[in-house]
Amino acid sequence: MKILVVDDEQEVQRLFEQRFRKERREGLVEFHFAFSGEQALQFLEQQKVTDLALILSDINMPGMSGLELLRAIREKYRELKVFMVTAYENDRNRELALQFGADDYLTKPLDFTLLKEKISTIL
């Protein structure tokens, strides 16, 4: 399963690689990382999106926000699963994320046990 993680904090890559070490080693998940909304859209344009099972996107990023990215994804790639992630929980962001078509809404720090359960339902 290919997963695209979009977050402007580059240390997120190391965190995901550590927390999913076993799953990566067993070939269950393959992570790709984009460090901006714009970079994520470039990735989607260059890949076969049918191979991508999930996008995990931060909401608060410089430049294109995660909510703007979500809207762009929904316009062009309706079939993709998108989970929005934020460190700044607020009802307005949650409402907008769900209104724009997010499949789930998670808060940081991520509960990786819960995230793995949610990912397993996509498998």
pLDDT tens digit sequence for 72-101: 999 999 999 999 999 988 899 999 999 999
39/37 Cα distance (integer angstroms): 5
**Strand partners for 106:** 85
CATH architecture assignment, domain 2-122: 3-Layer(aba) Sandwich (3.40)
75/88 Cα distance (integer angstroms): 26
Max Cα separation, the chain? 39
* pLDDT value, residue 48: 81
Q: Is the pLDDT of residue 24 over 80?
A: yes
67/50 Cα distance (integer angstroms): 22
Q: Which of 27-36, 40-49, 53-62 has the lowest mean pLDDT?
A: 40-49
Percent of the chain whose pLDDT exceeds 90: 91
- The model carries a pTM of 0.95
List the chain domain ranges: 2-122
Query: Tokens representing 20?
Result: 């999913």
Q: Which tens digits make up the pLDDT trace of 46-55?
A: 988 888 999 9
